[in-house]
Structure 1
Amino acid sequence: MLREIMISFLLEGDACASIKYRVQKEILKESQDTLNMRVLHSGILDDIRVKNIIENQKQDGWLGESFHGEDSMEASIRFLLERGLGSNDAVISRAFEALERDSSDFPREFKKVGSVLDSRGFGGSESIRAALFAQAGLEEKDFVRYEVEK
């Protein structure tokens, strides 16, 4: 009973499209193909912060100016995933394609400090990269499995 009251409060109140979308998808298991979910997804894409990230995506798929930090690939992907976007959305798909390229050649300080942490098993850049893919439900990737199993 309390669960239903809370769900009604979120869905019928002034919650943003992202909250409504995630409640429908993650709690009520509504298919993303329904008209309601497509409308909510459009609402997420209309969010000014989401638009800003999408509009500033680099040609190579990179988001932000660095890998880790405030204006970064990591922060942008986490924000978009938390809003309700997924690996099938173009902005996320392109970002993940950029992250799957040879990581030794990543731009924007990807390995500056992270490689030291990675080499000592402390969870550096490779660990963060794997966590992003796992958060998006892409944990079957070899490099994700490696980070989980080591």
Structure 2
Amino acid sequence: MPRRLPTSEQLRTWRDFIETTEALRAVVAARLQAESGLSPGDYAVLLALSEAPDRRLRPSDLAVAISWERSRLSHHLGRMERRGLIRREGFSGDSRGAFVILTDAGSAAFHAATVPHLTAVRELFVEALTPEQMDALAQISAALRDHLPNR
């Protein structure tokens, strides 16, 4: 049985999808950085911590929440800690663990970035699509996510 490869049209659609999402992410990231001084990684960490009970998570739980490898997260947290956005605190009863805690400065930075960030999402993403296209995209995204292994 011959291998089934994507058609030229399917590959063109795939490339359009990848290139468009990468360009969109780059523009949103540049606006976030310019308007708030936060990187998308900073924003993801601050969002996860702002939604966590007591504004704290164990690093392993934070890594899962933002879909990052632990080593990447560890390096990023070091930079955020030096900027006063988060702090790390030992976990009582477990010398191996720690909590990542959202500081008041981190909370303020996150809240100051939220409206400009959501404005960029609205302007660059939501306003580009009709309500029908938005519904279709939600269905397509769910189908792709559900089709991935280990989901």
* TM value normalised by structure 1: 0.28
Higher relative contact order (CA 8 A, sep 6+): 2
Structure with greater proportional helix content: 2
* TM value normalised by structure 2: 0.28
Structure with greater proportional strand content: 2
Larger Rg belongs to = 2
